[in-house]
Amino acid sequence: MIPFNHPPYTGAEDQYVLDAMRSAKQSGDGPYGLKCQKWFEQRLGCAKTLLTPSCTHALEMAAILIDVQPGDEVIMPSYTFVSSANPFVLRGAKIVFVDVRPDTMNIDETLIEAAITNKTKAIVPVHYAGVSCDMDAIMAIATRHNLYVVEDAAQAFDAFYKGQPVGIKGHLSA
């Protein structure tokens, strides 16, 4: 019998929790958070990572960093969780949904260009169920139209696209 949701316990966790609680930095830039960020950077081969409480928070930060304003349009797949859209809607953007491919359930890259207008600010590909979107095609479209690409890779950690970790092709990634 395999127990449901039974976390592994190695024995060192108690001391780590106490160390973190006694640290001068209990949240943000503490020793364990910095170790995690460094591990992500090494694992993913990216220049910088920042820990956030959730992918939603990371997408909110991305929306701020690319300066999404009221009236901007953001393209994303029609099949996604509401948390992919909310960070952009909260900044006043209009979400433009593009249909998904039936073979991957990811955004259909062949339909993105038709959805672009002069108000489009970004494309948000969502890598569904560990399957990468066609990032080469999406990045080429973004380059042609001078758009940001913000990857939602919440469901694709440790998945790969053409030998590279999913989530490192776009301008920003959550």
Identify the pLDDT of residue 20: 86
Confidence label for 146 from pLDDT (cuts 50, 70 and 90): very high
Question: What backbone torsions phi and psi does residue 148 show, to the nearest 5 degrees?
Answer: -80, 150
CA 34/CA 28 separation, integer angstroms: 8
CA 172/CA 104 separation, integer angstroms: 22
CA 136/CA 42 separation, integer angstroms: 23
- pTM for this prediction: 0.89
Domains of the chain: 9-51 (no CATH), 52-173 (3.40.640.10)
The pLDDT tens digits for 157-170 are: 899 999 999 999 99
Identify the pLDDT of residue 2: 74
Top mean pLDDT of 26-35, 137-146, 152-161 is at 137-146
Question: What backbone torsions phi and psi does residue 32 show, to the nearest 5 degrees?
Answer: -75, -40
Identify the pLDDT of residue 26: 72
Radius of gyration, alpha carbons of the chain: 18
Q: Give 100's DSSP letter.
A: B
Q: How large is the angle between the packed helices 55-65 and 82-89, nearest 10 degrees? A: 30
The pLDDT tens digits for 78-121 are: 999 999 999 999 999 999 999 999 999 999 999 999 999 999 99
CA 57/CA 119 separation, integer angstroms: 24
Structure tokens at 118: 């002069």
